[in-house]
Amino acid sequence: MSVSSEWVKVKNNGLAIDAYLAQPTGDGPYPGIVVFQEIFGVNAHIREVTERIAAQGYVAIAPALYQRLEPGFEVGYSDEDLAKGREYKVQTKASQLLGDTQASLDYLKGLPNTTDHFGCIGFCFGGHVAYLAATLPDIQVTASCYGAGIAQMCPGQDVGTTCDRTPAISGTIYAFFGTEDPLIPLDDVDTIEQALQEHNIDHKVFRYDGATHGFLCDQRDSYHPEVAKQAWGEIWQLFSQLND
């Protein structure tokens, strides 16, 4: 499916957030997907992912989650880039991340070619944000990919974790982890799965043997093509629920 893409502005309480929008060139209507960046910003890889999702028949939008800290932030994967991305990550707040997500959803709702079915996907830092976003009523399906810290903290909060918000998830969530990920202890994965089970959330938790952090990013040394193929297959199956 052919795709068009552009940078747009999403408004959240007076703040204009840069967002990368990709959509099929047909009339639609299509479900909407919010794409959450890694700590490296809405860089070339995240833009490619956004376009890839649009090519499958979705209107996809990737908001710049560091807009308040450094508009236009976009880096690669060097140690220096990693340090800068982490510096910004620890300054984010759950309330602002959720507000930016809702603003992105409202932008999608205002387009003439979207249905009223919405999902989200995030990677790394964005995987954590996706788990948060799953608590929004508009989000029906969520793909949270190696989101670190979900069971240990919540952005901008001194008390409580994002996992504590699990009861508020009303849709379906798939969570993807690598068994060799140094940033996400396997005990954390177990805690997340137990919370999803305890609160009867429609979910699947995937543990990929031999995969480490960033296994879906083909721009990183940690890319694992075989696992990535499997995971994307599950993601497309999840997103297909939005067409029902």
Residues with catalytic function: 124, 181, 213
Tokens at 29, concatenated: 């209507």
* Residue that is written with structure tokens 């976009």 in the block: 74
Sign of CA dihedral 26, 3, 13, 39: positive
The CA distances from residue 174 to 159, 196, 236, in Å, are: 26, 10, 11
Residue 142 burial (C-beta neighbours within 10 Å; 0-12, 13-18, 19+): buried
CB 149 within 8 A of CB 94: no
The CA distances from residue 51 to 33, 47, 59, 81, 150, in Å, are: 11, 6, 9, 24, 27
Tokens at 182, concatenated: 């140094």
* CB within 8 Å of 52: residues ≥ 6 apart: none
